[in-house]
């Protein structure tokens, strides 16, 4: 069930059997010369759509995240950490007021992790300081760190996976959007590695936008396998999350 394609009576009925919801969260940022700007939002969204087909309610994707370090590349958009925390507080607060209790954020962007965890701490602090029990369970799960995905990425790409504009994420977007395939030889074949700082520094050290990756290894066929592994990881992890006391 996709929230955007349901009616309020259907959501009310869903709440009688489940108080859980999946919220895909990503980013809008450059992914090298061959990767889509929307990669980090598309990947969790396409996996979440598979979860929706299994009867789980899936909220609209929060597709702009914390991506300040990508701003020197055109098309990238960031929310400040403080803005993203406010967005997450308001989204959770809205749905919690109606009875939702388990919030499963399926994330596609490493740069969101610290901020999403801080948002969870803010939400819990609201209840703790008011001396009331929230009854909320909040979880951040990265689609790219599930056991099946990690094993498959290693099998397909090994060290060439890198950490930004990876062949895994680019393959998955090409599976979702076959017309998005771009064949272009990149130099160097494997991008450099290093720490992330501000946007100016990032572009200086990673001039084509990639970090440590060889996206030339991406393919639609790999993307299909990665989708199946990512969906299996997410379904198993979500069901386990609902069962946690
Ligand atoms: Ni990415």
Give per-residue pLDDT as tens, 97-150: 999 999 999 999 999 999 999 999 999 999 999 999 999 999 999 999 999 999
CA 131 to ligand 1 center in whole angstroms: 39
CA 169 to ligand 1 center in whole angstroms: 6
Set out the domains of the chain in order of their start, with CATH numbers. 3-243 (3.40.50.10310)
At residue 227, the pLDDT reads: 98
Mean pLDDT of 84-100: 98
The proportion of the chain whose per-residue pLDDT surpasses 90, expressed as a percent, equals 99
pLDDT tens for each residue of 28-46: 999 999 999 999 999 999 9
Mean pLDDT of 71-85: 98
* Residues 99, 88: Cα–Cα separation, whole Å: 17
pLDDT tens for each residue of 147-188: 999 999 999 999 999 999 999 999 999 999 999 999 899 999
- Sheet containing 102-107: order of strands: 20-25, 102-107, 137-142
Q: What is the mean pLDDT of the chain?
A: 97
CA 198 to ligand 1 center in whole angstroms: 17
CA 151 to ligand 1 center in whole angstroms: 18
DSSP one-letter string for 126-189? HHHHTT-----EEEEEEGGGSHHHHHHHHHHHGGGG-SBS-HHHHHHHHHH-GGG------SSS
Residue 245 has pLDDT above 90, yes or no: no
Three-state SS at 85: helix
The proportion of the chain whose per-residue pLDDT surpasses 70, expressed as a percent, equals 100
pLDDT tens for each residue of 223-243: 999 999 999 999 999 999 999
108 near 26, Cβ under 8 Å? Answer: yes
At residue 183, the pLDDT reads: 87
């Amino acid at each position: 069930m996709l929230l955007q394609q349901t009616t309020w009576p259907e959501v009310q009925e869903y709440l009688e059997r489940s108080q859980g919801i999946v919220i895909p969260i990503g980013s809008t940022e450059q992914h090298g010369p061959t990767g889509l700007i929307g990669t980090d939002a598309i990947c969790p969204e396409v996996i979440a759509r598979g979860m929706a087909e299994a009867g789980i309610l899936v909220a609209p994707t929060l597709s702009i995240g914390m991506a300040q370090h990508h701003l020197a590349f055109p098309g990238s958009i960031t929310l400040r950490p403080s803005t993203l925390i406010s967005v997450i507080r308001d989204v959770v607060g809205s749905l919690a007021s109606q009875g939702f209790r388990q919030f499963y954020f399926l994330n596609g962007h490493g740069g969101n992790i610290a901020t999403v965890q801080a948002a969870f701490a803010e939400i819990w602090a609201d209840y703790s300081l008011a001396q009331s029990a929230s009854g909320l369970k909040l979880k951040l799960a990265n689609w790219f760190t599930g056991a099946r995905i990690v094993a498959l990425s290693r099998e397909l790409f090994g060290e060439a996976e890198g950490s930004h504009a990876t062949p895994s994420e680019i393959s998955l977007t090409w599976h979702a959007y076959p017309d998005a395939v771009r064949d272009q030889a990149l130099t160097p074949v494997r991008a450099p590695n290093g720490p992330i700082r501000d946007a100016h520094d990032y572009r200086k050290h990673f001039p084509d936008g990639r970090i440590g990756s060889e996206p030339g290894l991406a393919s639609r066929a790999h993307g299909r396998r990665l989708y199946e592994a990512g969906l299996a990881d997410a379904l198993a992890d979500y069901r386990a999350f609902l069962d946690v006391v």
